[in-house]
Amino acid sequence: MVQTSTVITASVATVVTGILAYAAYFDYKRRSEPEFRRGLRRNERQKVRAEKEDQKAQTQLQRQKIRLAVADAIEEGFPRDPSEREMYFMEQVSKGEVLGADPNTLFEAALSFYKALKVYPSPGDLIGIYDQTVSKQVLDILAELIAADPTLKLGTNAEGATVPNMPPTVGLD
């Protein structure tokens, strides 16, 4: 009778020989046939082009999602009473921190931080705090949310304007 180890060794040797033969054949075709090389380059270019188009489509979808989220948040409205604003701010920040821990909910986390930013009395200062405490992925999405909102004023006081005779605080690193 034939031992199991002999059968396994023969099978592995056959598979390895087949792989090596295919590699030698592929290398021979690549070196000797210009049309084969052109086909390889063409396939590579098509692959790169498809990846670029896919990335562009993903970017467009992300921007559309951001515009819709900002419009929904503005339409939903924000509290006017100072005590309600404070409670809403704390709720949104804690929600953003919890969602920011999960990589699958980064957009929702950024949206929560954006909503908190909308009710904060000095949004410019809060952005500095976010910069130190929030992950870069969430900050990137938050920056796009801020850019998509024409009503958001990033001054240092509640009215959205900078304090007279004081240098701006946002963007100074």
What predicted TM-score, i.e. pTM, was given to this entire model? 0.65
Residues in the chain: 173
Whether the pLDDT of residue 6 is over 80: the answer is yes
| pLDDT for 172 | 47
Question: What single-letter DSSP state applies at residue 168?
Answer: -
Distance CA 38, CA 41 (A): 5
- In tens, the pLDDT along 99-120 reads 988 889 999 999 999 999 999 8
pLDDT of 156: 53
Which pLDDT value is given to residue 16? 97
pLDDT digits (tens, 9 = 90+) for 14-72: 999 999 999 999 999 989 999 999 999 999 999 999 999 999 999 999 999 999 999 99
Q: Give residue limits of the domains in the chain.
A: 14-77, 80-148
In the predicted model, what is the mean pLDDT of residues 156-172? 50
